[in-house]
Structure 1
């Protein structure tokens, strides 16, 4: 897709170039937005390569290793210990930022570095918030620091959902600076499945004939892969395709999941596919896409992707997911961390093919209309125009 030629420029900054939800948002935005939008990273990675393949010249900063070690639950002492690395990165980013009209920090770590860099470079700062900042996963120190930096340095805070926006304000963020820009998708990149697509998926992963539910996302406890495994006890004829790999030190959780398959007697019914590049095609091949996060999602990319694939979607209620799915109209919602409710929802769709087809068709239409990448780029351009 040819990018639109404009004079506006913006540098979107992320601490990692690996493919998480925030980074995919950034990749989609840059590759579909104006030619003057580019990405900057604290380390090399697959997103850098993807941007380069799309004709961009992403900026990779050196010296970011210490900052990358800080986790959400970090203590005040840990935050202070990486201050030197933040300053080093900020100086490097300031030099790069002078070539752009606006700097957009795409993560919390990027916010801290970009706040200092934009002061040095005399450029406006926008923070793209991809988290429900009041979530217990964030330490009090990290949350306070993020809100403080946003209030002091960010001209605008772009939240990826109303849920994220409301949490930011509840934590003390300035409401008048908040704008909502949902994640955007290209419907053309999400093929529709048919019987042969499903048969091909079963052959590829050694699955048997019969219903297959798909769960897509990195392997981590809060994404709830264990909830699906427990739910399978209530739907004995159903197989599960779990796509995704462990990241950020979550390898022990993958070991736990594989052990659970054995202890629950699920051998032969669960396939761990690992990381896969063709997720859209795999979604089109399963019978149902499930989302099993154990607490509120800031947005819920996989839910929209499942809808765009024309598959019936069952999702955990709460957070941004409630802004995507309307219960009984374009998907089904279940309570978080509730295997029995998930099993009941799966059984309901399998027992009522007409309902499944109706939800799938409505979901595709709704997702394509409300979360199209062109709308996301337009909404982001409007925000940047406010601060230029």
Structure 2
């Protein structure tokens, strides 16, 4: 049984659904508990079973009720192992697993903040799994140092990318043409893409300052930059970005089209993909998806990006918050020869195929489950 707050879009949700689908294919009975969402249908089509509970709640009374309900489910279904993927449901899932005497797996999907006693306390149950999975070595080191998770209980399982979905040979021209019209792109003008929800730590303002530096260097704005992502209610931040775009004189060259519904086609339209996060990414899904599509990437030199980007081979790593360094990297990326661009594309896709596939991720999770359930199992 996997437990997470909800099944909306995101890396946590994607990993949960992919793992549930792999378990169902392998003949396991797979349950997912959440508050629901648009990905439930995909989950159930794959043969897994969804159970709706208010596990996203931080209310201590609801957490107690959730623990009791989870305990009932574990005993009645029955469930042999519980895997929790987020802090709020970890409180009830851990308590239920303890009461029922079943193994608990937790996954650290990021370096949870621990600078205050309350934040560390709130994330505490995530460090109590029989096995604690980290989505990168960066996150594993953080879990060890900040939360005292013993190395013997830590396993790194990187997020997996669906290479059937993120395959440059499967993107039909109509999909790209539709986005070209939506984004108001000009033929022959290079496209700089920054995908990511509109939140301050994603580094949109750093990219905008870098674009201004590029424009001043060359005396023109010979590019179109697309900030692709939903506001998720942060309308004030979007307004701030729109104001900064006008202030920098970039309003003719920057687009903010909202959420990206067709990410593979979006990557295909890009000449370079940027991940400018000022806070370390636990993994950095954008950089990996872009590489799967054969695109050069510029990412910030911290967090999971250090494990997913090969500087000089598949892209560039620049100091976080450094607009000048970001402008330098973008300059190099936009000046790549066709031959060099092809070399990067081949190396980037091979890098993802060798290290960051959905199949590899799911196989690793099933090995963890098998080891806990069948400790004498040879495999």
2:165 alignment counterpart: 189
Structural mapping, 1:66-81, within 5 Å? 66-67=57-58
**Unmatched tracts of structure 2, length 5 or more:** 215-220, 374-379
- Counterpart pick for 2:117 among 140, 163, 170: 140
Number of residues of Structure 1 aligned to a counterpart in Structure 2: 358
Tell me if the contact between 2:4 and 2:86 (Cα under 8 Å) persists in the aligned partners. yes
TM-score (norm 2): 0.88
- Superposition deviation, residue 199 in structure 1: 5.6
Is this contact kept in 2: 1:106–1:128, CA < 8 A? yes
> Alpha carbons of 1:386 and 1:287: their partners in 2 closer, same or farther (altered >3 Å)?
same
Trace 1:91-106 onto structure 2 (pairs within 5 A): 91-98=68-75, 99-106=78-85
Q: Hey, what's the Cα distance between the residues in 2 that align with 1:117 and 1:158?
A: 19
Give TM-score, length-normalised by structure 1.
0.86
Q: Name the counterpart of 2:192.
A: 213
User: Which residue matches 1:360?
Assistant: 345
Q: What is the SS of the residue equivalent to 1:188?
A: coil
Structure 1 position 226, deviation (Å): 1.8
Aligned CA distance change for structure 1 residues 41 and 215 (closer, same or farther; 3 Å) = farther
Q: The residue matched to 2:49 in structure 1 has which SS? A: coil
1:384: which partner in 2? 369
Instruction: Answer yes or no: is 1:31 the counterpart of 2:16.
Output: no
Could you list the runs of 5+ residues in structure 1 that have no partner in the other structure?
Answer: 1-10, 68-81
C-alpha displacement of 1:37: 5.8
CA contact (8 A) 1:40 1:61 kept: no
Q: 2:225 aligns with which of 240, 250, 273?
A: 240
Residue 144 of structure 1, CA deviation? 3.5
1:274, distance to aligned residue in structure 2 (A): 1.3
CA RMSD of aligned residues (A): 2.2
Residue 43 of structure 1: which of 15, 35, 39 is its match? 35
Q: Using the alignment, how far apart are the partners of 2:366 and 2:167 within structure 1?
A: 28
Quick check: 2:56–2:89 contact (8 Å CA) kept in 1? no
The residue number in structure 1 matching 2:151 is 175
Closer, same or farther in 2 for the Cα pair 1:41/1:261, shift >3 Å? farther
Contact in 1 for aligned 2:138/2:282 (Cα 8 Å): yes
1:79-99 superposed Cα distances (whole Å, 9 cap, x missing partner)? xxx221211111122223333
Structure 1 position 280, deviation (Å): 1.5
Deviates more, 1:34-43 or 1:206-215: 34-43
Aligned-pair CA distance for 1:66: 3.8
**Displacement after TM superposition at 1:272 (Å):** 1.3
State the partner residue of 1:118. Answer: 97
Q: SS state of the match for residue 168, structure 2? A: coil
> Is the contact made by 1:95 and 1:121 (CA closer than 8 Å) also made in structure 2?
no
Q: Which residue of structure 1 lines up, in the alignment, with residue 138 of structure 2?
A: 163
More displaced, 22-31 or 185-194? 185-194
Work out the CA distance in 2 between the residues paired with 1:122 and 1:166. Answer: 28
**Counterparts of 1:213-232 in structure 2 under 5 Å?**
213-232=192-211
